[in-house]
Structure 1
């Protein structure tokens, strides 16, 4: 991550994910944010908190950024899931240093 410069919201997302801090991670998202991950869309704080717990905190995900260009972070994700580490593309919509939209796909 030393050579990858990230916008504040993306850096906060990575740091909170790697710290396994559900409250800090939820604070990265705007009130009406949308997350698309694993074929499901999560909208608003309650659904995104559930997604955070189930998809990032419980499996102890650690994200290692590989590159960031435009609005797309490519990163290695590892944790308590089969087949890891895996590479993912995180495409961020950001407004006022908060994530408004996030789409995650395998690379």
Structure 2
């Protein structure tokens, strides 16, 4: 697995479970960040907080990072989610675009 940028490591520490630090997570994003998850687009730090608060309130889950690689300007991380959502397990791909040491864009897909 390729080394992961420290900001991405902090992303999974603060937001990789159903008990996230939504404020701490939002600090890792740019003011105009974009998050695309489950067909919905969230923008800005307030959007990041709302997105993470919503996802954490729906299900109990934990994420294990299983891989990482650079793909041009993006960093692609794979993770395995286990929880009480329908199906109970899913592998996800997280595509991060950084601006300096902050996350400018995050797309999450199954």
Q: TM class by shorter-chain length?
A: 0.7 to 0.9
Q: TM-score, normalised on structure 2?
A: 0.84
Counterpart position of 1:21:
21
Of 99, 104, 107 in structure 2, the residue corresponding to residue 95 of structure 1 is 99
1:78 paired to 2:76: no
Unaligned runs of at least 5 residues, structure 2 = none
Computed over aligned residues only, the root mean square deviation of the Cα atoms, in angstroms, reads 1.6
CA contact (8 A) 2:2 2:69 kept: no
Determine which structure has the larger strand proportion and give its number: 2
CA contact (8 A) 1:17 1:61 kept: no
* Deviation for aligned residue 1:93: 0.5
* Deviation for aligned residue 1:44: 1.0
Q: TM-score, normalised on structure 1?
A: 0.86
Counterpart position of 2:48:
48
Question: What number of residue pairs does the alignment pair up?
Answer: 103
Task: Please show how residues 58-73 of structure 1 align to structure 2 within 5 Å.
Answer: 58=57, 59-70=59-70, 71-73=75-77
Unaligned runs of at least 5 residues, structure 1 = none
